[in-house]
Amino acid sequence: MKEEKERKQAVALTYNNDEDTAPKVIAKGKGFVADELLKEAIKHNIPIQEDPSLVQLLSQLEINETIPEELYEVIAEIFAFIYRIDKNIPS
């Protein structure tokens, strides 16, 4: 059971400002699938945000499901926090 908890998870999102009202999940997976999602993101220069609690929330959504309004505030707070931390790290 401990091995299950340590398996890497990944969730891929997409957002088209002209068509979407919010980001939506386009892929998700654990273990090997998560590794492959990350490899593809790196290969295509897609930004990667590592946040286990955010991944846990988003992994509960279905593929092609738009992020529900109830999660907007949580996700915005997480990204704002990370942004502030990133700005304080010397380049």
Distance (Å, rounded) from C-alpha 82 to C-alpha 37?
Answer: 22
pLDDT on residue 50: 85
| Mean pLDDT of the 20-28 span | 89
Helix (H, G, I), strand (E, B) or coil at 25: strand
**Residues 39, 78 contacting (CB under 8 angstroms):** no
Which pLDDT does position 2 carry in this prediction?
46
pTM beyond 0.75: no
Q: What pLDDT score was predicted for residue 78?
A: 64
Give the integer Cα–Cα distance in Å for 63 and 59: 9
The pLDDT value given to residue 69 = 87
E strand residue ranges, 19-77 = 24-30
Q: Using one digit for the tens of pLDDT, what is the confidence trace for 28-87?
A: 999 999 999 999 999 997 878 888 888 998 999 999 999 988 888 876 776 676 677 777
Q: What is the pLDDT, as a whole number, of residue 43?
A: 96
